């Protein structure tokens, strides 16, 4: 059985994305593993991991849009932009003492009124505690060394941003919140939910941080199909075309041999559903994907081989 393929993991909060891959190394007896789209340490949810030669396909996963849910805490901001970080700003004017929990002083309607500012193509400054590199060093590492850094805004796209709940109390808040809301966000690669929460708070004239970030979807792949690391088995290994939706062309053994040698293949049939970059999967007659290729009218050219080596 091949050790190359994709695995859908449900990462738990408090575990690094790197550590989440350890079960793959054990189950598939390989060090050649990787993942697309790092999740924050405190975030949970879907990670698409790959083993063997399929790790070469991870950049195509990385580029997909994603969907997250998160809790927005209004009233204070922390250094990490998470609910339990070190408080750097506190909105005393809006805090309402309420021993029974959170009392809303910004309404759901007020929040929903500012959300259109954050949909479509926008610019976002990443959190200072993040993996963005400055002169080859992670911003988070520079912050931990006491450096004062400034990050440049980056262009992102948010397709949908909506409120799905309100008024819940979260344990462990380091600041005084006066309102909480649960939201869901569909966004492009490079979007930081923590920074989004910060910016929403400022648009409301206050401060904000977030908790309970959970990723539910990457591209067309959803969290409900993912498995926890401790439950992983070889049966959870998925073929590449179950995750990436490039068109698949079937080849004879002779045609596979041509592609395997890195040579282009004459192809007279039109391939439907090819994207602007022309990517297609080449499979054998049994449907096993063996190569990522470029299609152009009249021929198919191999990009890289995904099948097992000849024995």
In this structure, are 130 and 58 located in the same domain? no
Q: Same domain, yes or no, for 88 and 195?
A: yes
CA distances in angstroms from 281 to 7, 246, 248, 290, 291, listed in the order given: 19, 6, 5, 7, 6
302: part of which helix (H) or strand (E)? Answer: strand 298-305
Please report the pLDDT score of residue 93 as a whole number.
83
Residues 41 and 154 in one domain: no
Residues 124 and 208 in one domain: yes
Residue 310 lies in a domain: no
CATH classification at residue 100: 3.30.2350.10
Nearest in space to 292 (alpha carbons), one of 253, 267, 259, 243: 259
Same domain, 224 and 179: no
- Does the pTM surpass 0.85? The reply is yes
3-state SS, 151-208, equals CCCEEEEEEEEEEEEECCCCCCCCCCCCEEEEEEEEECCCCCHHHHHHHHHHHCCCCE
The count of other CB atoms within 10 Å of the CB of residue 68 is 23
Task: Confirm whether 85 is domain-assigned.
Answer: yes
* Residue 270, in any domain of the structure: yes
9 and 71 together in one domain: no
The candidate with the shortest Cα–Cα distance to 240, out of 6, 32, 35, 8, is: 6
Q: Rounded distance, CA 185 to CA 111, Å? A: 14
> C-alpha angle 299/304/305, rounded to 5°?
100
> Residue 97: what pLDDT?
47
Tell me if 210 is assigned to some domain.
yes
Domain with residue 294: its CATH number is: 2.30.130.10
- Phi, psi dihedral angles at 24 (to 5 degrees): -65, -40
Pair (9, 28) in one structural domain: yes
Same domain, 138 and 263: no
Q: Is residue 311 part of a domain?
A: no
Residues of the chain with pLDDT under 70: 1-2, 96-104, 129-135, 137, 139-146, 309-311
Task: Confirm whether 297 is domain-assigned.
Answer: yes
Give a yes or no: residue 178 inside a domain.
yes
Torsion of CA 81, 197, 199, 82, to 10 degrees: -10
Quick: pLDDT tens for 275-289. Answer: 999 999 999 999 999
110 and 52 share one domain: no
For residue 167, what pLDDT is reported? Answer: 84
Please count the structural domains in the chain. Answer: 3
Domain-embedded: residue 122 = yes
Please state, as a whole number, how many other Cβ atoms lie within 10 Å of the Cβ of residue 151: 15
Q: Give the 3-state secondary structure of 205-228.
A: CCCEEEEEEEEEEECCEEHHHCEC
The verdict on 162 and 297 lying in the same domain is: no
Q: Same domain, yes or no, for 90 and 234?
A: no
Same domain, 188 and 280: no
Classify burial at 132, counting beta carbons within 10 Å of its beta carbon; exposed 0-12, middle 13-18, buried 19 or more: middle
What is the extent of the structural domain holding 196?
66-218
Cα within 13 Å of Cα(5), Cβ side: 18
Catalytic residues: 40
């Amino acid at each position: 059985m091949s050790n190359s393929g994709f695995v859908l993991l449900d990462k738990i909060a408090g575990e690094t994305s790197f550590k989440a891959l350890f079960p793959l190394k054990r189950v598939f007896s390989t060090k050649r593993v990787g993942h697309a789209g790092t999740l924050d340490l405190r975030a949970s949810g879907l990670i698409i991991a790959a083993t063997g030669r399929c790790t070469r396909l991870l950049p195509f996963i990385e580029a997909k849009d994603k969907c997250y849910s998160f809790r927005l805490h209004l009233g204070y901001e922390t250094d990490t932009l998470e609910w339990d970080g070190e408080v750097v700003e506190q909105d005393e004017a809006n805090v309402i003492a309420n021993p029974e929990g959170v009392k809303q002083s910004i309404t759901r309607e007020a929040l929903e009124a500012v959300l259109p500012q954050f949909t479509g193509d926008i610019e976002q400054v990443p959190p200072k505690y993040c993996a963005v590199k400055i002169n080859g060093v992670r911003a988070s590492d520079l912050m931990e060394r006491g450096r004062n850094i400034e990050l440049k805004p980056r262009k992102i796209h948010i397709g949908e941003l909506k409120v799905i709940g309100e008024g819940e109390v979260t344990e462990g808040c380091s600041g005084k919140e006066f309102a909480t809301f649960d939201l869901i966000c569909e966004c492009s690669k490079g979007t930081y939910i923590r920074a989004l929460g910060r910016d929403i708070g400022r648009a409301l004239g206050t401060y904000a941080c977030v908790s309970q970030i959970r990723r539910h979807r990457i591209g067309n792949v959803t969290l409900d199909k993912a498995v926890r690391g401790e439950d992983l088995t070889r049966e959870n290994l998925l073929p590449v075309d179950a995750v990436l939706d490039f068109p698949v062309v079937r080849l004879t053994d002779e045609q596979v041999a041509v592609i395997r040698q890195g040579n282009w293949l004459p192809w007279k049939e039109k391939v439907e559903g090819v994207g602007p970059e022309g990517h297609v999967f080449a499979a054998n007659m049994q449907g096993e994907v063996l190569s990522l290729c470029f299609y152009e009218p009249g021929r198919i050219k191999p990009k890289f081989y995904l099948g097992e080596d000849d024995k």
